[in-house]
Amino acid sequence: MAFLTKEELKTITTIEIIDLITNKDDDIVGEIIKEDISLMETYLGSYYDMNEVFSKTGDDRNRTVVKYLKAIISHDLPKRRKKPVPADADADYQEAMNWLEKIASGEWKANLPRKKEDLDGDGIPDEIPFLKLGSKKSYKNHW
């Protein structure tokens, strides 16, 4: 079973509108879902195990990931027909992208399974540590 199905998109719009936008082609909906999952994997994949996150189904899924995935999909669907994105869908999309950027930068942490690799060579996978990169703020001298 897929991480997210067309029927579950009824919380963001009606199935009739999705069918109108995609000419009732479920393959198009599936491709949009896959593309947007790939987008989320790009942002979240540095620290979190994407195979474990997106292999879950039903109530085992992280609700925040589902919510923001639906927000991204609701932004991408109207663009398929070259229609303007509704203001509420655009606001939800911006919120989702802000969340993804904060997670990717390490500013926020998500309640997701952490990525594990054998970092010390002992054969036991270790959690990949969060790295927050930056520099000291430069201050202007007055002389």
The tens digit of pLDDT for each residue in 12-51 reads 999 999 999 999 999 999 999 999 999 999 999 988 999 9
C-alpha R_g of the chain:
19
Predicted local distance difference test score (pLDDT) of residue 53:
96
Q: How confident is the model at residue 85 (pLDDT cuts 50, 70, 90)?
A: confident
**pLDDT exceeds cutoff 60 at 134:** no
Report pLDDT for 10: 94
Say what the pLDDT of residue 115 is.
84
